[in-house]
Structure 1
């Protein structure tokens, strides 16, 4: 996925786009008389003026935190605030000193087909997945979590030292708020990470002992670090009541917003989350339709 972002960035730069990073937006500037967007204000006080702004932030972040509430219809703002952002996913990035060797496969120290795709662990049956989900719904981290493992360093040797590897774990289910304890407690975090590693040991013996270090992002971490409301990586629930014409709110599924010139282009817009780029592509087409006159 990082390569996809790099490719998009390269194409944009070649087209003359200026990309600015480490520039947090504090407010979307709106002319309260005309209701039209005027640009964005940055945390450092810089103002970037533009008649068009596309927001890749969550709808909640965009309309509750960045856009002045006085310029938004009350029913629209209520719908945005009422949207389901509950999440139960945690990301663990792991550094290991050797490849995991799965019991169901022959030993392959250099990496085989079993290391090159998405590896599912702890999801042997629908019943097991259901139990894991219900535990999280009660505020308890799953005792036997559902894990999706990828090992990008098998395909890209440049991201880890020779013989060592980087492993990504996408883990479910971890509640945003624990019924007991807190994600800020290092012991709670360590206990859950070790629980995940122990589960992997059942499929790849010795995995825990191969761990050199790890970084864990719980739902509150994802919210704080990346602005993902509730830690939801899809910018909101992907249920039938929040898809198609209901995303992000009824009557506003065409990427336009109540603020003229402000558009949504992220996963909070139709068709939703996933690594596909469809919301951005569709939003760009709408912007061109609104602002580029046909010759």
Structure 2
């Protein structure tokens, strides 16, 4: 039965929308989620893409999901299970060379020592530097950034943040400032001399980031990818049994138990605004749905450029949003395979196939891929990461067969010279498969079926403008009190009773749940204050 008069409407049923809905409902609010697709979960879904083959459609690996949210929603008790990668990354380098990172520190150092004894010796200090910075991010992930100019509240938050930073040793402060401002190459050149090792670490700097490893600020994106954990192990990544959709399936279960109503196939066409207040939404079917609180789990570009009339927004806010950068340069594929790939540089079946397989042997390769994409629309030799989750989760494919996730970088959010991704998709797929074929000859012959999502496809299917998996670039000008823009950092924009809970807010992209958690806190604190004031 449809709930009457919801206290809050949430636009979009991705993981952050589910997290926000859960906390609001647990506090006694009537909540309704409006999801455009016929499946809950947003970009974190598991779907059949070829007869008998299932895989995570978009988001494909887990690390950043907040432990507090896992515990509060009872996800482990509901069946949440993650298998850690035995090795973090495998880089086939050509000419019989490879780099295999992960496992114990000692094992990683032995591997690196094959290329540089100096780099192997420096590795513990590098890890310690990253851990120190990642600890700061972990501490701040579930905090509400201050809106600059918000008076005493903003001042208190700023003081708290400054005190946390001041407790660090001068060297730690120095390193954190470098991480936020340097390019990935500048950072890694300072630490290491081996090109393969710099490639392994530098890959994280361009994931979901349409940029070169030489782009200033790209070092922060590297850091953003290491502040998570799996099964209590910091910095680890893993495979969710059942795919990423298992996370949102269990979140939806928790939400329903808390009383949340979930409406599928209910896309929102427009936000209803009256006298500077968000009062409801209009669906594509023409239904008007009203609620005292509207919470957007869509990106800021989608929300403010497409769902709200320009006349309903202040001019200065429109100007700031016009400069909000979206478009992560990503291309996503799923493959149904009749067997496992055989890599020339490390033949056979082993832990390397359960790792993130990164086909980009150097920072120079990554930079060239970016320059190619800027010039032609996509790289003729793109950066390709492959995961084979069916090696640890046999529910995804028939016995003896496998699924592979391909997450590929350096594809222009919008093609130059007016070309359309619908016309260029097949050529881009061919370039991706050529890269894999170079490292694993005969790979094409193992493909039984595939799906391919260009940046335009990601926008159409999941509402990711420009295919941006982070809902907006993760650069210093779009972080913390400036995410998405200055004055709209505390999960609220210029319209009263409108809130944001997606990755376009702090702490940014990835399956973290933190924006949903934090937005719910803002709403509940305001509600508590008003109930005390007017009772």
User: TM-score, normalised to structure 2's length?
Assistant: 0.51
Deviation track 1:243-264 (CA, whole Å, cap 9, x = no partner) reads 1111111111110121111111
Work out whether residues 139 and 177 of structure 1, in 8 Å CA contact, stay in contact via their aligned partners in 2. Answer: no
Which residue number corresponds to residue 116 of structure 1?
354
Which residue number corresponds to residue 273 of structure 2?
30
Report the count of equivalent residues.
287
* C-alpha deviation, 1:90, in angstroms: 0.6
Which residue number corresponds to residue 210 of structure 1?
446
Distance 2:414 2:512 in 1: 30
Distance 1:139 1:234 in 2: 24
Which residue number corresponds to residue 75 of structure 1?
316
Which residue number corresponds to residue 460 of structure 2?
224
Which residue number corresponds to residue 15 of structure 1?
258
* C-alpha deviation, 1:106, in angstroms: 4.9
Distance 1:31 1:152 in 2: 49
**SS at 2:251 equivalent:** helix
**SS at 2:358 equivalent:** strand
Distance 1:156 1:292 in 2: 44
Deviation track 1:8-59 (CA, whole Å, cap 9, x = no partner) reads 1111111111111111001111222xx2221211111222221111101111
**SS at 2:429 equivalent:** helix
Distance 2:380 2:510 in 1: 27
Which residue number corresponds to residue 170 of structure 1?
407
Higher RCO (CA 8 Å, separation ≥ 6 residues): 2
Work out whether residues 23 and 43 of structure 1, in 8 Å CA contact, stay in contact via their aligned partners in 2. Answer: yes
Structure 2 unaligned segments of length 5 or more: list them: 1-243
Aligned counterpart in structure 2 of residue 136 of structure 1, from 373, 377, 388? 373
Which residue number corresponds to residue 103 of structure 1?
344
Relative distance call for 1:7 and 1:214 in structure 2 (3 A) is same
* C-alpha deviation, 1:104, in angstroms: 4.0
Work out whether residues 120 and 149 of structure 1, in 8 Å CA contact, stay in contact via their aligned partners in 2. Answer: yes
Work out whether residues 101 and 205 of structure 1, in 8 Å CA contact, stay in contact via their aligned partners in 2. Answer: yes
Deviation track 1:229-283 (CA, whole Å, cap 9, x = no partner) reads 1121111111111111111111111101211111111011111111211111111
Work out whether residues 487 and 493 of structure 2, in 8 Å CA contact, stay in contact via their aligned partners in 1. Answer: no
**SS at 1:138 equivalent:** helix
* C-alpha deviation, 1:113, in angstroms: 2.3
Aligned counterpart in structure 2 of residue 183 of structure 1, from 421, 426, 445? 421
Tell whether 2:506 aligns with 1:270.
yes
**SS at 1:142 equivalent:** strand
Higher helix residue share? 2
Aligned counterpart in structure 2 of residue 43 of structure 1, from 273, 277, 284? 284
Distance 1:118 1:286 in 2: 37
Relative distance call for 1:228 and 1:254 in structure 2 (3 A) is same
Distance 2:268 2:377 in 1: 35
Work out whether residues 265 and 279 of structure 1, in 8 Å CA contact, stay in contact via their aligned partners in 2. Answer: yes
Aligned counterpart in structure 1 of residue 487 of structure 2, from 227, 251, 266? 251
Work out whether residues 141 and 174 of structure 1, in 8 Å CA contact, stay in contact via their aligned partners in 2. Answer: yes
**SS at 1:173 equivalent:** strand
Cα RMSD, aligned residues only: 1.8
Relative distance call for 1:88 and 1:6 in structure 2 (3 A) is same
**SS at 2:386 equivalent:** strand
Aligned counterpart in structure 2 of residue 197 of structure 1, from 410, 433, 448? 433
Work out whether residues 257 and 263 of structure 1, in 8 Å CA contact, stay in contact via their aligned partners in 2. Answer: yes
* C-alpha deviation, 1:103, in angstroms: 3.2
Distance 2:432 2:301 in 1: 31
Moved more, 18-27 or 195-204: 195-204
**SS at 1:48 equivalent:** strand
**SS at 2:316 equivalent:** helix
Which residue number corresponds to residue 389 of structure 2?
152
Work out whether residues 88 and 176 of structure 1, in 8 Å CA contact, stay in contact via their aligned partners in 2. Answer: yes
Structure 1 unaligned segments of length 5 or more: list them: none
Which residue number corresponds to residue 93 of structure 1?
334
Work out whether residues 176 and 230 of structure 1, in 8 Å CA contact, stay in contact via their aligned partners in 2. Answer: yes
Which residue number corresponds to residue 190 of structure 2?
none
Work out whether residues 89 and 219 of structure 1, in 8 Å CA contact, stay in contact via their aligned partners in 2. Answer: yes
